[in-house]
Amino acid sequence: MSGLQAPRGAETIVKGIAGEFGRPLKVVSAPGRADFLNTHQDYKGLPVVPVAVNLRTYAAAVSKLPDGFEVVSLNLRREGREFQDRFPPKPQLRGRGWFGDYLRACVIALSEYGYELKHGLKVVIDSDVPAGGGLGSSAALEVAFLKLLDSYYGLELEKSELAELAFKAENAIMGIPCGRLDQYGSAYGRAILLRTRPPYRVEELSLEGLKLVIADSGIKHRVAAIHPVRQAEIEQGLTQLLELEDLPAEVRSLLGKRYWEPKWEELKLEVLEPYLSRIDPKAADRIRFTLLMHRSTVIALKLIREGSLLPDELKEVGTELGAGFQEALGAVM
């Protein structure tokens, strides 16, 4: 599917599946998500706010199999691409961007956590979440499939467990350097504040009265292609900062060589700025973005919770939305 389209809804999708494959044994769904606050911060250990959207991925168990899994993607079939996958109870990944690897990785993750699936299933996937559209399509697929297995096999998984299993499948098993934002946003199915340093904590947020409108930029992207580049640029900047002999000890103690190691919440841009001007410009922009985006998120969360800001905080918002913040925000594109 390309671009944003109006959701077809559960009734239409399930009716279509039933018309071709017979009445499903079980149907579940999981939403895509909008990256609402603190984008590109989850893999750095900073808190993030995803918001579930009204586009969903549906997973239907259509028949019981004696062993292994058969998966049919109706989206890929409509696009004229290879759309079927078959794999045993203990699968291996095929690699090279194969769609079935997301599902194989989920089964592997369940096995590594000690869950045994006693027989196989034929599963049909249909989705309103556009692939590569920035709405967490892979996480919606993982969470929907895991929710189906949870419901069908009676695994009794909590939302946090579904999210962690989906994250493990994509990050640890498939080797895609994502954070936890997508999987938790889909598993919880609403607006949440996710704290991404252990122990991972979730706070459900009320956005009552707030209407979000999502527009399709037409730009396709893949986490596997984007995140490693940005992470490498941050690490380049951190290394160059640590090589500055006159960097104050109190600043040095807050840094690290890997992108998740700095105590980002404690770093102050006004203190770091004189040193950022002496390192690679792109790397400096990545670090500026990290600090500015996090500060704006702290202010936005206060506004969400309390409904108002103090005059000094309003002034700070105006300052951060000025040229410097726009420059740093543009650096993430």
Q: How far is CA 248 from CA 170, 260, 269, 274, in A?
A: 39, 21, 14, 11
Q: For residue 206, what are its two tokens?
A: 């009320």
- Rounded-to-integer distance, Cα 160 and Cα 166, Å: 10
| Terminal Cα-to-Cα distance of the chain (whole angstroms) | 23
Amino acid at 62: V
- Rounded-to-integer distance, Cα 58 and Cα 9, Å: 10
- Rounded-to-integer distance, Cα 187 and Cα 307, Å: 27
SS (H, E, C) 11-43: HHHHHHHHHHHCCCCEEEEEEEEEEEECCCCHH
Answer yes or no: are the C-beta atoms of 27 and 124 closer than 8 Å: no
Active centre residues (catalytic): 182
Answer yes or no: are the C-beta atoms of 66 and 284 closer than 8 Å: no
- Rounded-to-integer distance, Cα 258 and Cα 260, Å: 6
How many residues make up the chain in this entry?
333
**200, exposed or middle or buried, with CB in 10 Å at 0-12, 13-18, 19+?**
middle
Nearest to 171 by CA among 28, 321, 43, 313: 43
β strands within 103-242, DSSP E: 120-127, 192-195, 201-204
- Rounded-to-integer distance, Cα 194 and Cα 42, Å: 8
